[in-house]
């Protein structure tokens, strides 16, 4: 009798916990889809072209670009095996981007910190919760991160 009561309580608690947050997951997924589609609209043509050029290299797994007033910053990550050759790949990507954008100062990096900073910066710009002063400050931070790597 005790075992049957225990099983009934267990089944009821599992089903009650399983019903929690039914609509939440769907809302989060829809929110993520909207953010992703909005990101595509917010990128400039130059940033999209730069990302495509970087991703066209078979060694590059993903890339993100940000166009500031005085330079085009592109950060990328490579496939697992290619991590041994990141400096060489960085030079190839930079050469291709400089060829595509001759009058633009191109900065290319494989550093994770810079890639994450570009993603955060773009997200904050899209959500419009960053001031012009804060934007300049974050761009300067990116520059110091690049110098730190060298």
| Statement: residue 130 has pLDDT above 50 | yes
Q: What is the DSSP string of the chain?
A: -HHHHHHHHHHHHHHHHHHTTHHHHHHHHHHHHHHHHHHHHHS-HHHHHHHHHHHTSTTEEEEEEEE-SS-EEEEEEE-SGGGGGHHHHHHHHHHHHHHH-TTS-EEEE--HHHHHHHHHHHHHHHTT---HHHHHHHHHHHHHHHHHH-
What is the per-residue pLDDT across 19-64, written as a single tens digit (0 to 9) for each?
555 555 445 445 454 444 444 445 789 999 999 999 999 999 999 9
**Mean pLDDT of the 111-126 span:** 89
Q: What tokens appear for 74 in the block?
A: 């592109």
**Mean pLDDT of the 61-68 span:** 91
CA dihedral (140, 118, 74, 86) in degrees, to 10, reads: 100
Calculate the alpha carbon distances from 22 to 17, 27, 30, 31 in Å: 10, 9, 14, 15
Q: At 101, is the pLDDT very low, low, confident or very high (cuts 50, 70, 90)? A: very high
Q: What does the alpha-carbon distance between residue 68 and residue 59 come to, in Å, rounded to a whole number?
A: 26
**Cβ–Cβ < 8 Å for 125, 135:** yes
Q: Look at residue 81 in the predicted model and tell me its pLDDT.
A: 83
Q: Who has greater pLDDT, 118 or 40? A: 118
Q: What is the pTM of this model?
A: 0.65
Q: Look at residue 25 in the predicted model and tell me its pLDDT.
A: 47
Q: Look at residue 149 in the predicted model and tell me its pLDDT.
A: 60
Average pLDDT over the chain reads: 80
Neighbours of 77 (CB within 10 A): 17
CA nearest 96: which of 52, 148, 133, 34?
52
**Mean pLDDT of the 91-115 span:** 91
| Statement: residue 90 has pLDDT above 70 | yes
Q: At 146, is the pLDDT very low, low, confident or very high (cuts 50, 70, 90)? A: confident
Q: What does the alpha-carbon distance between residue 50 and residue 46 come to, in Å, rounded to a whole number?
A: 6
**Mean pLDDT of the 57-79 span:** 90
Q: Who has greater pLDDT, 70 or 19? A: 70
């Amino acid at each position: 009798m005790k075992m049957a009561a225990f099983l009934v309580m267990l089944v009821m608690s599992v089903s009650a916990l399983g019903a929690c947050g039914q609509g939440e997951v769907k809302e989060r997924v829809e929110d993520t889809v909207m953010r992703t589609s909005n990101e595509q609209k917010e990128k400039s043509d130059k940033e999209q072209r730069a990302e495509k050029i970087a991703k066209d290299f078979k060694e590059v797994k993903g890339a993100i670009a940000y166009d500031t007033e005085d330079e085009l910053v592109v950060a990328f990550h490579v496939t697992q095996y290619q991590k041994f050759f990141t400096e060489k790949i960085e030079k190839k990507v930079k050469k291709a981007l400089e060829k595509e954008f001759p009058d633009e100062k191109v900065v290319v990096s494989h550093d994770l910190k810079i890639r994450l900073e570009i993603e955060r910066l773009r997200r904050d710009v899209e959500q419009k919760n960053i001031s012009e002063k804060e934007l300049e400050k974050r761009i300067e931070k990116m520059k110091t991160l690049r110098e730190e790597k060298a």
